[in-house]
């Protein structure tokens, strides 16, 4: 199964890149390596990455810029950022720009592989194995659990894998209120330790509101219950 996945690495340090490629290929993944953004974007139309390992500090466009451009183009494959920095602001910036995870260098081979396995499982395996196929409807939206897609009338709305999972969770539990810790445990359960930061929930809920709410600042579906957490109303 793993050999069906293409992992792409953008890393300008050739010694680090060589170690990444050897580690991933020895585990059974297909791997492509690029040194900078232009090489990657030139090749992107002809490849189908399952996951991107993205160094933050790169010549030319940095990792944040690359991630923003990918999400702006509608690319939904998961992105794991790799960086030597370990500041909370950098982590939040990466998430806000569309990254799915964040690994601080130096990291162990085991940590890298476990993060990749978890992200691939969350983004592809868990969803495709879900036997519940009924659609959810709210307002003029329809969430298809068979095709993992969201439509507003006939217009399809792009969701990242975690946004799909988050929206599915709220729709399955509409009317119930959950605090951030409960949402982390239910939606990110089994994911990397990085997601122990409850601010991750706020970042992804804000992104989801921007896609489903007419006025994200005054949401009618995904509401904040002050001092408690979040609830979803199928109005």
Q: What is the pLDDT of residues 87-135, one digit of tens each?
A: 656 667 667 778 888 888 888 888 888 889 888 877 775 444 444 557 8
Full-model pTM: 0.56
* Cα distance between residue 40 and residue 23, in whole Å: 21
What angle, rounded to 10 degrees, do the helices at 109-120 and 14-26 form?
60
Per residue in 25-78, pLDDT (tens digit) is: 878 888 999 999 999 999 998 888 889 999 988 989 999 999 999 988 888 889
Locate tokens 């930061």: which residue?
197
Report all structural domains of the chain as residue ranges with CATH numbers, in order of start.
2-128 (3.40.50.2300), 136-232 (1.10.10.10)
163 and 207 in contact (C-beta within 8 Å)?
yes
Q: What is the DSSP string of 110-163?
A: HHHHHHHHHHHIIIIIHHHT------EEETTEEEETTTTEEEETTEEE---HHH
pLDDT score for 190: 47
* Cα distance between residue 194 and residue 169, in whole Å: 20
- Looking at the chain, the whole-number percentage of residues with pLDDT higher than 70 is 84
């Amino acid at each position: 199964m793993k050999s069906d996945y293409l992992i792409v690495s953008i890393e300008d340090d050739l010694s680090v890149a060589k170690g990444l490629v050897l580690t991933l290929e020895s585990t059974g993944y297909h791997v492509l390596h690029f040194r900078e953004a232009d090489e990657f974007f030139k090749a992107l139309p002809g490849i189908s990455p399952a996951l991107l390992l993205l160094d933050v500090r790169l010549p030319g466009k940095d990792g944040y810029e690359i991630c923003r451009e990918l999400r702006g183009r509608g690319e939904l494959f998961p992105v794991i950022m790799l960086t030597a920095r370990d500041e909370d602001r950098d982590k939040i910036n990466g998430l806000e720009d569309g990254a799915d995870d964040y690994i601080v260098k130096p990291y162990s081979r085991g940590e890298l592989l476990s993060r990749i396995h978890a992200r691939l499982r969350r983004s592809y395996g868990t969803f495709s194995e879900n036997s519940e196929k009924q659609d959810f409807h709210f307002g003029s939206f329809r969430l298809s659990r068979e095709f993992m897609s969201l439509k507003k009338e006939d217009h399809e709305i792009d969701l990242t894998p975690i946004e799909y999972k988050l929206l599915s969770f709220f729709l399955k539990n509409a009317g119930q209120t959950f605090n951030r810790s409960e949402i982390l445990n239910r939606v990110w359960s089994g994911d990397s330790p990085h997601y122990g930061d409850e601010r991750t929930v706020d970042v992804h809920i804000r992104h989801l509101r921007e896609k489903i709410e007419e006025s994200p600042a005054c949401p009618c579906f995904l509401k904040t219950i002050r001092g408690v957490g979040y609830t979803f109303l199928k109005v």
